[in-house]
Amino acid sequence: MDSPIATSRTRTGISTGLLAVYWLMASEIVIFGGLLVCYLLFRQRNPEWAEFAALTNVHLGALNTFVLLTSSLCVVLAHHAAENKQTDKAFKLLWVTIFGGLIFLCVKSYEYYSKFSHGIDITTNPFWGFYFIATGIHGLHVIAGMVCMAVVSFQAKAGQHLNRVELVGIYWHFVDIVWIFLFPLLYIAK
Contacting residues toward another protein, per CB under 8 A: 12-14, 22-23, 25-27, 29-30, 33-34, 36-37, 40-42, 44-46, 58, 62, 65-66, 69-70, 72-73, 76-77, 80, 84, 169-170, 173-174, 176-177, 180-181, 183-184, 188-190
Single-letter residue type at 61: G
The nearest distance, CB 78 to another protein, in angstroms, is 11
Q: How far apart are CA 112 and CA 67, in angstroms?
A: 18
Between 139 and 169, name the residue whose CB sits nearer to another protein: 169
3-state DSSP assignment of residue 100 = helix
Between 7 and 45, name the residue whose CB sits nearer to another protein: 45
3-state SS string for 22-66: HHHHHHHHHHHHHHHHHHHHHHHHCHHHHHHHCCCCHHHHHHHHH
Quickly count helices (H) and strands (E) in the chain. Answer: 6, 0
Q: How far apart are CA 47 and CA 89, in angstroms?
A: 49
The nearest distance, CB 20 to another protein, in angstroms, is 12
Between 118 and 190, name the residue whose CB sits nearer to another protein: 190
Distances (CA, A) of 8 to 16, 157, 161: 5, 23, 14
Between 37 and 106, name the residue whose CB sits nearer to another protein: 37
The nearest distance, CB 2 to another protein, in angstroms, is 27
Q: At what angle do helices 87-117 and 163-182 cross, to 10 degrees?
A: 30
Stretch (H or E) spanning 185: none
The nearest distance, CB 185 to another protein, in angstroms, is 8
Between 2 and 48, name the residue whose CB sits nearer to another protein: 48
The nearest distance, CB 16 to another protein, in angstroms, is 14
